[in-house]
Amino acid sequence: MTNQDFHHFLRQHRDQHPDDVLTVREEISADQDPTALVWQLAAQGRHPMLVCENVRGLACPLVTNIFASRERVGRMLGVPAAQIHAEYQARSRRLVAPRLADKAPLLDSVQRGGIDLATLPIIKHFATDRGPYITNAILIAEHPDTGVGNMSFHRSTLHSPTEIATSLHSRGHLWRLLQIAQERGQPLPVAMVIGAHPLFMLAGAARLPFGVDERHVAGGLLGAPLEVVRTPKYGIAVPAYAEFVLEGVIDPDAHVPEGPFGEFSGYSSDRSTNNLLRVESVLRRRDAILVDVVGGNSAEHLNLGRIPRESEMVEKLRERFPSVTAVHYPSSGTHFHAYVAVKQMRPGEARQIMLGLLGWDPYLKTVVAVDEDVDVTRDEEVLWAMATHMQPHRDVVIIDGLPGSALDPSASGIGTTSRMGLDATRAPDFDGVRARIAPDALARANAILARAGGKGAASIA
Ligand SMILES: Cc1cc2nc3c(=O)[nH]c(=O)nc-3n(C[C@H](O)[C@H](O)[C@H](O)COP(=O)(O)O)c2cc1C
C-alpha cells in the first residue's frame, strides 16, 4: 500500500535513489532560478528531482521536476519505464473510492478569514510570464446533483489578496461544470490542491469520460482509497496529506486578466478563459513544501500531461490494430506529434492506423507511420524514414477543420486545426536495399575501440 504523504515519498526516494535527487542548499531567487536550473540540467541530459531548500522569499522548501524522468515515473508505479503504459492502464482502471481519514496533516492550519494569498509560496517560472504562477494547481469540483468529482490542472496566478486568476482553456470537464453552474445562476465551489502525492498528480492529468471521478483513479493508482478530508465551507473531499488547499468559488460571470504564461508548446501564451476564483478558506500543513511543476515544454510538463493519454492511446491502437509494434510521442513534437511503427499485413493499413490515432487523440496534429525496423524512440531514424520512404504526393493525408489545442500558436483563432498523417512505410514498389555492416565487422570494431580506449580513439583515424 502506498504511503500517501509527499514527505514520505521524497524521503524514501532520496534514500533509495540518492543520485536521482539534486538538492540545492544555497540561496536562489524565486524569479526563474528553479526553471533555469532545470533547463541547464536538461541541456546536460540530466533530469533529477530538484529540491531547492532556500528560495528567497519562500518560507518553505521547493521540490520540482518530479515527472521529468520516465524511469522515475516507472518507479512510482513499480515498473521499468517501458511498462508505464500497461501499468498505468491496469491501475487507473481499478477505480477505488476515497476514504475519510482519521489523521490529516492538511488540517494543521485552517484559515477562514483574513486571507492574504501573498503569504503563499509562489514562484515566477519564465521572464515572459505575467508574474508568479501556481503551476501545480489541481482544481476539484463536484457535480451539483451527483456529487461526482472532477480533477484537472489549471495554471493560476494571484489577482488580489483573496482572488486567483485561472484558465480553463482546454475546455474540459471543469469548464462543463462551470457552465452547469452558470445555467443555474450559481457560482461553482472548487478546491485547489497545491502539492500532494505524485500519483494523485498523475490522476489529475487523466482525461476520462465525464462522470468518472479522478479521485477514484488516484485510489487505483495508489492501490488504496485516497485518504480525504472535507473542506470547511463546501465539503469538497481533498487529500488529507495535501500540502496546501484553497477553497472557494469560481464566479462564472467574472473575468480578469490572466496570462501570458510559458506553455507546453514552448511559447508564452495568453490564450486564456480568464476565470476568477474567490478564495474563502486556506488549509495547510505546518511543514508544507511547495511542490512545483516545471512549465513550458519541459520534460516534466510534457510527461505529466501525456503519460495518461499515451497509455490510453497505445492500448486502444494495439487492441484495434495488432500490426502496431511500437508507439512513441517524441518530446520534440510537444503534445502534437506521434510516431507509430507498423508491421503491415495489407496495403493501406498504416493510413488506417494514422487516421485512428489522429481521430482519437485530441492534441495530435501529425502522425508518422514507419515500418517495424525503424526505432520510433529516435527522431533521426523517423526523419530518415520520411526522407527515403515517402513520396509527398502519395503519402501525405491532411484533414482540416478539426478541434485543436487552444495553445497551438499556429492554429486558427476559432480553435480548429488541420491534422496530417505521413506514411513513411515502404510502398510495395519501394526500390532500395539497406546498406549493412556485417555483424562480425561490428564486433571487430567494438573490440578495436575497447582496446583503443577513450583517448586512443583519435589515433585510430
Ligand atoms: C501541468 C499541467 C498544466 C495544465 N494546465 C492547464 C490549464 O492551465 N488550463 C487548462 O484548461 N488545462 C490545463 N491542463 C490540462 C488539463 O488539466 C488536463 O487536460 C485534464 O486532464 C483535464 O481533465 P478533464 O478531462 O477532467 O477535464 C494542464 C495539464 C497539466 C498536466
If you average pLDDT over residues 189-218, what whole number do you get? 97
Whether the per-residue pLDDT at 165 is higher than 50: the answer is: yes
Query: Which of 125, 130, 154 has the most ligand 1 atoms within 8 A of CB, as the residue to mutate?
Result: 154
Confidence of residue 253 (pLDDT cuts 50, 70, 90): very high
Q: Which among 91, 177, 193, 79 is positioned nearest to 136, based on CA atoms?
A: 193
Q: Are 401 and 418 in contact (CB under 8 A)?
A: yes
Any atom of ligand 1 within 6 Å of the Cβ of 205: yes
Distance 148 CA to ligand 1 centre (A): 18
Distance (Å) from CA 40 to ligand 1 centroid: 26
- Is the CB–ligand 1 distance for residue 304 below 6 Å? yes
What pLDDT is stored for residue 157 in this prediction?
A: 98
Q: How far is the CA of 379 from the centre of ligand 1 (A)?
A: 27
Report the b/e string of 296-305 with b at 16+ CB within 10 A: bbbbbbbbbb
Q: Does ligand 1 come within 6 angstroms of the Cβ of 153?
A: yes
Query: pLDDT tens across 110-153, in order?
Result: 999 999 999 999 999 999 999 999 999 999 999 999 999 999 99
Q: How far is CA 13 from the centre of its chain?
A: 20
For residue 461, name the pLDDT band (cuts at 50, 70, 90): very low
Cis peptide before 105 (omega within 30 of 0): no
Residue 460 pLDDT level (bands cut at 50, 70, 90) = very low
For every residue of 228-293, DSSP letters joined together read EEE-TTT--EEETT-SEEEEEEEEEEEE-----EE-TTSSEE-----EEEEEEEEEE-TT--EE--
pLDDT of 459 > 50? The answer is no
CA–CA separation, 423 and 161 (whole Å)? 54
Given this model, what pLDDT does residue 454 score?
Answer: 61
List pLDDT tens digits, range 292-322: 999 999 999 999 999 999 999 999 999 999 9
Domains and CATH numbers, the chain: 79-294 (2.30.110.10), 321-423 (3.40.1670.10)
264 lines ligand 1 (CB under 6 A): no
Q: Are 295 and 303 in contact (CB under 8 A)?
A: no
| pLDDT, the chain, mean | 96
Residue with grid cell 515502404, as numbered in its chain:
426
pLDDT over 80 (residue 1)? no
pLDDT at position 209 is 93
- Nearest-atom index, ligand 1, CA of 166: 8
| pLDDT, mean of residues 8-19 | 98
Q: What are phi and psi for residue 406, nearest 5 degrees? A: -65, -20
Output the pLDDT for position 251. Answer: 97
Residue 200 Cα to ligand 1 midpoint, Å, equals 14
Is ligand 1 within 6 A of the CB of residue 155?
Answer: yes
Cell readout for 55 is 528560495
Q: With 50 as the cut, is the pLDDT of residue 70 above it? A: yes
Name, in order, each residue with C-beta under 8 angstroms of 146's C-beta and a sequence gap of 6 or more. Answer: 211
Question: Does any ligand 1 atom lie closer than 6 A to the CB of residue 273?
Answer: no
- The H or E element spanning position 371 is strand 366-371
Q: Do 342 and 372 touch, CB atoms closer than 8 A?
A: yes
Give residue-wise pLDDT tens across range 31-46: 999 999 999 999 999 9
Atom of ligand 1 nearest to the CA of 176: 27
- Output the CA torsion 297→302→305→308 (10° steps): 170
CA of 373 to the centre of ligand 1 (A): 35
Rounded percentage of the chain residues whose pLDDT exceeds 90: 95
**pLDDT, tens only, 336-365:** 999 999 999 999 999 999 999 999 999 999
Q: Is the CB of 303 under 6 A from ligand 1?
A: no
The 10 Å Cβ neighbour count of residue 456 is: 12
Among protein residues, the one whose CA lies closest to atom 15 of ligand 1: 153
* CA 230-233-236 angle, 5° bins: 35
